[in-house]
Chains A and B, each alone.
Chain A
Amino acid sequence: MNKYLRIAVTGDVDSGKSTLIGRVLSELSPVSAHMMDEVSQACKRLGRDFEFAYLLDSLEEERQEQRTIDTTQVFCKARNGLEIVFIDVPGHRELIKNMLSGTSLADGAILVVDAGKPIAEQARRHAFILAFLGIRHVMVALNKMDAIGFQEQEFERIKAGIQASLKPIGIDPEFFVPISAKEGENLLKPSKRMKWYTGDTLIDALSSVRFRKKPHAARPALESKEFVFLVQDIYQLKKKKIAVGLLVLGSIGLKSSCCVLPLNTKNRVEEILELGRSRKSVRSPEGPGLVLRDMSCLKRGDIVCVSKNLNVTFEFSAKVFCVKQLRKNKSINLKCGPQETVAHVSRITHAWETSGLREINIDQGVVEENNIAEVRVSVEQRIVFAERSFTGSLGRFVLRDHQGDIEAIGIIQ
């Protein structure tokens, strides 16, 4: 069975994201009668026509206020065995952390833009976040074409504007589809009211091989014995110490020589364990228990590996998205995979606001929330990292305050 395609539906508030998903969902997969009933009754109580968005916006407050508060996900079957999970996210600026929560899991994204309005600051911010999170498959759905009379000239004019606006962000959408989510135009069937449009419908664009198969970024080919295993914990079973964790890359065979980072000690895999049996070899993404020849110093956060693509350091450069205000030299916790250490931002080299990419002043050593910065990070204990294209997990990190709240998301440069 194929893995499903996870598509985040992003864009400004009121651009019609939930309506788009609700409409596609109800046309693609039979929505249960129970759910349709529940939505019809809710609409009746609120004195409204049937709202497709309510298939997603399940909270009472969301329906009363007509806005998505939290991110949600729905599963549906498209065509040719393709299965899609739509991730709906809120458009409001103050709900950006809910947008981030949903979008971080996506394989690709639809940026929904209201054809009747100039491209909003928030849509550009969402586009920026997609680029920042490393989501390269992006298509634009130009919604509410009904409001501009389904006109080709208008579409072309707006499309050119959006392209120009997204270019500096590093997003070059693979598709521009003129749609009307409310009226179902160009979602599943080619629109009869926009015969001038000969491109793919929204669902065809999603199903297209081009959109699905384009790799996120080229990963260097693995060497034959290369592997990376993150140690999550050390369990003691029948007086034997076992390192449990996740094999994020490659495969491990019995008697493999390996290296334990960050200390850079040589070691050897003596046993590979799983529930009720031992194995001769395991492959990513399995999560076995390992017994190494020398278990004495092994601890959570260590990386057992054979790889030339990992770096060990006390200081590194990164690009960070500030979920909260970021302050230079403030003591903060850094988490990178299972590695945790006290850290601080030692230098802020540049900062930009995310909607227009205007450079902002950093003389005070402070970057406000929702902005982005290029920084140097210093850590108290050495950490192991890799390029994002090599292993997602060791190429990104978060900075958390002492309450455990995430203050910034970082991508190692």
Chain B
Amino acid sequence: MSSDPYLKELESQSIYVIREAYWEYKDSLALLWSMGKDSTVLVHLARKAFLGTVPIPVIHIDTTFKFQQIYDFRKRYAGKWGLKLVVARNEEAILDRMSPKLGRFECCNALKTEALKQIVAKRGLKALLVAIRRDEHAIRAKERYFSSRDKDFKWDYAHQSLELWAEYYKSQGKKETHFRVHPLLGWREIDIWRYTKQEKLPVVSLYFARKGKRYRSIGCECCCQPVASQARSLEKIVREISSTSIAERSGRIQDKEKAYMMQKLRSLGYM
């Protein structure tokens, strides 16, 4: 078996973190799956960590504004991999017709952060595996592998805990309601694609170029824009990412609507 030693190292460290989180939190641990490339890699790593069946709930925070291809992908692979899929929505806000028209910040906060808060409370979750990476956004670069959130879900970024060698971290405490665990923190976008290719993982078709455009990052249909690209295969995406200087999330409107929007969203509990 010829696998890349560097990817092996990343994989192995992530699996270690997933198993540590499961050891600490057992059934009060869940995994957030958006069907995007990163959290699909995370699901795969969890399947490897648990040697097959993922024993924890896999949660999709559904804003109802996702691309149809994303819902199709969810149905297909949740079944194929035998995932304990949980779809979480902020039904009240959806009934009230929350949408980006009422403000993107407000919409993200209500349909994502609030929906997450509701499911965490409902299931009594203590920790969440989340597929964020340092190289995605300058704010996410400051994260820890084990990152605590207080009862209001706030991220106290100025007073983060000491964490060493991705091995020693703060994992318990009274004042925190839950922990965010980030097994992919040290991965880069290119590593995700190279790994997806190596492991022959499926990805939502939106990532591949059609008519000269593809999505680098996917989310809600109304708030994502494609970038110019000819990359129609994993091979070509890897090549494209190696040479581009366009930011991965440049098509994600919520990142740039207002100054420090990502910082504000995240400090309130956004992923």
Q: Which residues of B contact A70 (CB under 8 A)?
A: 142, 157-158, 160
A405→B50 contact, CB < 8 A: no
- Which one, B16, B194, B245, contacts A29 given CB within 8 A? B245
Cβ-Cβ contact count across A and B, 8 Å cutoff? 149
Q: Which residues of A contact B166 (CB under 8 A)?
A: 105
> Please, which residue of chain A has its CB at the minimum distance from the CB of B46?
A275
A216 to chain B, nearest CB (A): 13
Interface assignment of A60: CB less than 8 Å from any CB of chain B: yes
Cβ < 8 Å to A, chain B residues 210-248: 245-247
Interface residues of B (CB under 8 A from A): 4-6, 8-9, 12-13, 15-16, 19-20, 22-23, 47-53, 134-135, 138-139, 141-142, 144, 157-158, 160-168, 170-174, 186, 188, 194, 245-247, 250, 256, 259-260, 263
A287→B12 contact, CB < 8 A: yes
Interface residues of A (CB under 8 A from B): 1-3, 29-35, 38, 41-42, 45, 55-56, 58-61, 69-75, 97-98, 100-101, 104-105, 232-233, 235, 237, 242, 244-246, 273-276, 285-287, 289, 300, 323, 335, 337-338, 392-393, 396, 398, 400, 403-406, 409
Q: Which 5 A-B pairs have the closest CB atoms?
A: A58-B138, A30-B245, A32-B247, A404-B172, A97-B162
Contact A59-B157, Cβ < 8 Å, known A34-B247, A73-B141, A232-B19: yes
A1→B51 contact, CB < 8 A: no
Q: Complex: how many Å from CA A307 to CA B180? A: 37
Q: Which residues of A contact B13 (CB under 8 A)?
A: 285
A285→B12 contact, CB < 8 A: yes
A55 to chain B, nearest CB (A): 7
A404→B48 contact, CB < 8 A: no
Contact A275-B173, Cβ < 8 Å, known A35-B247, A59-B139: no
Q: Complex: how many Å from CA A74 to CA B136? A: 10
Interface of A is mostly: mixed
B16→A287 contact, CB < 8 A: yes
Contact A72-B142, Cβ < 8 Å, known A3-B6, A275-B47: yes
Q: Which residues of B contact A276 (CB under 8 A)?
A: 52
Q: Which residues of A contact B6 (CB under 8 A)?
A: 1-3
Q: Which residues of B contact A105 (CB under 8 A)?
A: 165-166, 186
> Please, which residue of chain A has its CB at the minimum distance from the CB of B250?
A34
A289→B263 contact, CB < 8 A: no
Q: Complex: how many Å from CA A72 to CA B256? A: 20
